Amino acid sequence: MNWSYQYITIFKIVSNNYRQFTISFVGVSIIFLLCSALNSLLPVLLRNTANSIQEANNLQTQFLFFAASYSAIWTLSQVLSNIRGIFSAWMLAKCDTTIYEAIINKVFRYPYKKQQNLDPGYVVSDISRSARSFSMVTVGVFWTITPIAVEIIIAISVLYSIMGLTYALLFLLASLVLICISTYVAKSSSNIHRELFEADDNLSSYTVERLGRTYDIKLNNTQHKECHAGKVFFDGYVKTIRKANLHMGIRVGTQGLAIGVVLAFFVILSGTHYGSKLTTGDFVMIIGYITMFTMQLHLMAGTLINLQANIVSLNDGIKYIEEKINLPQKPNTSQTAQGFVLSNLSLSKDNNTILSNITHEFRPGVNIISGASGAGKTTLINTLLGFEESYTGTAYYKGHLINESMSEFILSEVSVAPQKPILIGGTFKDNLLYGTENACSQKIRQVVELLGFSRKDSDTDALLDTVIGATNSELSGGEKQRIAIGRAILRDKPTVILDEPTSALDKETAHTIIEWLAVNIPCLIIVTHDENLKKKYGVAIELNDIRPQAT
């Protein structure tokens, strides 16, 4: 993919979400160019200052004028450099967060199955790296390479007026050759950058995966085994980094050698062939330009290599942003339309039949889905929610065929309490209200009491303000499950789906909650093994390992 297309794509995203970006970008770019122009004048002022010492007429006046001019321009250049640093850092930080936010928001909109196939470690690494890459490309192209080009053009113009056409052309030719070498080295380093990024992705994935199962490592007493496996992994990581850096170092060293040869050539040429024609000031100016030229080309060489790395990173972010997803449907439905209706629903994965010929209409009241572990209960729920599209037969919600684009609409009318909920960092109240915009304090207190957390107002106030954190290490499985049920209730939807809601609850608490839900929720769908619930409400769908059947 063309890097300019990538950059323009991200540029548009940043501009649309950061209103002052274009103005700030132009303003900072002008400051960079102005600094380059001022820096290019410094060797000329040094020349005039040195020449004024040799002139008898107005020696003191000329010397002071040029010396003062040199000091003033140098000071102005430094002040402008500090100003551009402040504004560019502020602007680029906003750019980075804007891109980060755009990619994260796009991933949130991915289909459920697409999200499930993402490696969290890779995603975090890709997003973090690509969010910075736009800023680095901006700095490299517009605030490093472009100003350097301006300095070289000014230098060649001055050298032409002092040294003549031949010297200026040689200077220009040498610049072009070194730029071509740097560009070739940068392009040839693309595979090296990819190796480094893949190594970083693997490191991030390894870290996230291991941190996600610290509890299992403790339970199985496998710390020693994990440390040994980690040593092997990290040794491989270091080997990859060293190999990539060696190849990169050889390329950078070659560039440095070429620049050094050019530096020596122009110093010797100036001192030998043109030495008799030059004043002291001329020689000072030429050496100043050659030194500046050498430093800037070395900077450009490094910038081009970094630019290639950031172009690779930019593509890693673009692939998330440009992922094609179906727009959510917002169908018009009547209040009397039927809810979930299944007819001969079947679903297979990896040549294994998960669901087979399920026919059922979920009516108002309590609908029990039962079955052995692994019989497809979660798959059936995901199908109802639009997360599974590869089924045969038909599945409708309010008369509309269920698919991934219907998922957002379905979940706007259906609350779900999963068996293993994930809590968020924040207070107890924040977790209860996660997923709902409005809930009156009276309803919140009612739910807290129903869930068996508190029975006194003073206790309820303290409980709601309690910070429980995202790790939830102090909460039991039953407490997490009750919070998930509370969320589903407070979302105030006509249909509620509960996945094994009594698995971590005592019988009394489970009975109280289910009784309340059965009375207050128009359509309640419960996935359960609980024999008491099955006897009381009957079984709507019975699943088994061999061939799921509807009842």
Residue-wise pLDDT tens digits, 62-87: 777 777 887 888 888 888 888 888 88
pLDDT digits (tens, 9 = 90+) for 166-209: 888 888 888 888 888 888 888 888 888 888 888 888 888 888 88
Averaged pLDDT, 224-250:
88
- Percent residues over pLDDT 70 in the chain: 93
Asked if pLDDT for residue 508 goes beyond 90, the answer is no
**pTM exceeds cut of 0.95:** no
Q: What is the mean pLDDT of the chain?
A: 85
- In this structure, which amino acid lies at residue 336? T
Averaged pLDDT, 88-117:
88
Rounded Cα gap, residues 66 and 72, in angstroms: 10
Q: Which three-class secondary structure string do you get for 253-304? A: HHHHHHHHHHHHHHHHHHHHCCHHHCCHHHHHHHHHHHHHHHHHHHHHHHHH
What confidence score (pLDDT) does residue 390 get?
Answer: 87
**Which pLDDT band holds residue 548 (cuts at 50, 70, 90)?**
very low
User: Which residues are within 8 A (CB) of 410 and not within 5 positions of it... i.e. 6 or more apart?
Assistant: 384, 385, 386, 397, 402
What confidence score (pLDDT) does residue 329 get?
Answer: 82
**Alpha-carbon separation of residue 375 from 149, 357, 419, 505, 549 (angstroms):** 67, 14, 16, 23, 11
CB 368 within 8 A of CB 529: no
**Which pLDDT band holds residue 394 (cuts at 50, 70, 90)?**
very high
pLDDT digits (tens, 9 = 90+) for 407-464: 999 999 999 999 888 888 888 899 899 988 788 889 999 999 999 886 555 678 888 8
User: Which residues are within 8 A (CB) of 42 and not within 5 positions of it... i.e. 6 or more apart?
Assistant: 70, 73, 74, 77, 288
Q: Domains of the chain by range and CATH?
A: 3-321 (1.20.1560.10), 340-550 (3.40.50.300)
What confidence score (pLDDT) does residue 550 get?
Answer: 47
pLDDT digits (tens, 9 = 90+) for 135-165: 888 888 888 888 888 888 888 888 888 888 8
- Please state the φ and ψ torsions of residue 378, each to the nearest 5 degrees: -65, -40
Asked if pLDDT for residue 361 goes beyond 90, the answer is yes
What confidence score (pLDDT) does residue 549 get?
Answer: 47
CB 346 within 8 A of CB 392: yes
Rounded Cα gap, residues 522 and 451, in angstroms: 19
Rounded Cα gap, residues 87 and 411, in angstroms: 44
Rounded Cα gap, residues 296 and 259, in angstroms: 10
Averaged pLDDT, 222-226:
86
